[in-house]
Amino acid sequence: MRDFSYLRAGSVEAARQAAALPGTMILAGGTTLIDLAKCGVAEPDSLVDITHLKGLDKIEVSARGATIGALAKMGHVADHADIKRHFPAVSEALWQAASAQIRNMATIGGNLMQRTRCPYFRDPANFPACNKREPGSGCSAIGGVTRGHAVLGTSDACIAMYPGDLATALIAFDAIVHLGERQVSVDDFFLLPGATPDKEHAIEPGEMITAIEIPDSAAARRSTYLKIRDRQSYEFAAASAAVGIEFEADGRTIRDLRVALGGVATKPWRARAVEEALKGKVLEPDAVRAASLLAVEGAVDNGANHYKIELAPRVVARAILKMGETA
């Protein structure tokens, strides 16, 4: 039987020290970790439970922005009145994620760290080849069932899609991940697979997410998260877009625009080309649709996921136009 030790951390410092030991993993809500342990993907020797740490679940919103503790529950953040007011896209990304039961258990820190849904990654008994799990073993997905795989940011080693919704909203608004004293932008926190798909985050052993900070911006205040999927609820995105917009005083000319994509890339994906193409322009449907095509520049499909290249720009365009309408 696979025994593992379990430690309930008394402080952030104790948790970090314990987590620095090889074979040790942090346990938050457990909705990713326990699931992966059942699949045989995660095989920790010891778990450090951080859910009892005091003060890490705070949600603070001020004129400068929001700071969300790593242990805040997805459900609480989604429902938080100030988050809804200042960062609607963040709230919308969260309430469209997973199910009510999972949102009640899962934490914001764990949410950022969730792993890909690549079915080959999740089934080691049947598919030993997976570079993300076993560096150098190959990639079972390439040439296989790829309907849910990424079209952006892929490499020859791995085409796994990053499935999270929250991080897509965060990257649009230049959020920062707090790892104790060290801080990293969300964009830098998530790594491209390149030749090392096993290394997903800019976080080192002994580090722990303590909070997420989202700077206030006019674009964030006027933002939305549009998630498209076959099933209306409880499904990962086929394609999603987090969009925030700020107009000039005329109410038509775009001063600031933020666009990020989910469900299509190997990491949360900021579509800066779309932003640049539209900034300074008057919001107008044809221009928005044309610019949205830039979101998938350089995209590469693997057959069954080709539709994502068609779909993503349409999702982006709809989200931008929706934000324009509410002017």
Ligand X SMILES: Cc1cc2nc3c(=O)[nH]c(=O)nc-3n(C[C@H](O)[C@H](O)[C@H](O)COP(=O)(O)OP(=O)(O)OC[C@H]3O[C@@H](n4cnc5c(N)ncnc54)[C@H](O)[C@@H]3O)c2cc1C
- Return residues touching other proteins (CB under 8 A): 1-2, 40, 117, 119-120, 123, 125-127, 143-145, 147, 228-235, 238, 306-307, 310-311, 314-315, 317-318
Give min distance, CB of 130 to other proteins, in A: 13
Question: Binding residue for ligand X (CB under 6 A) from 70, 186, 271, 320?
Answer: 70
Nearer to ligand X, 181 or 325 (CB): 181
Give min distance, CB of 299 to other proteins, in A: 15
Considering only residues 180 to 209 of the shown chain, the ones binding ligand SF4 according to CB under 6 A are 197
Give min distance, CB of 55 to other proteins, in A: 33
Question: Binding residue for ligand SF4 (CB under 6 A) from 61, 66, 159, 291?
Answer: 159
Largest CA distance in the chain: 67
* Backbone phi and psi for residue 262, each to the nearest 5 degrees, phi listed first: -125, 160
**Lookup: tokens for 102:** 């999972």
Question: Binding residue for ligand X (CB under 6 A) from 9, 18, 26, 177?
Answer: 26
Cα–Cα separations (whole angstroms), residue 32 to 36, 86, 109, 124, 218:
6, 28, 11, 16, 34
**Lookup: tokens for 194:** 């390149």
Cα–Cα separations (whole angstroms), residue 202 to 47, 89, 189, 300:
21, 24, 5, 25
Give min distance, CB of 63 to ligand X, in A: 27
Q: How far apart are CA 241 and CA 89, in angstroms?
A: 9
Q: What is the DSSP letter of 249?
A: T
Q: How far apart are CA 104 and CA 36, in angstroms?
A: 19
Q: Does 165 bind ligand X (CB under 6 A)?
A: yes
Which range binds ligand SF4 by CB under 6 A, 37-45, 98-106, 132-140, 283-291? 132-140
Please enumerate in sequence order all residues whose Cβ is within 8 A of that of 34, keeping only pairs 6 or more positions apart, or say none.
none
Could you list the residues that contact ligand X (CB under 6 A)? 25-33, 35, 70, 74, 97-98, 102, 105-107, 109-111, 113-114, 164-166, 208-209, 236
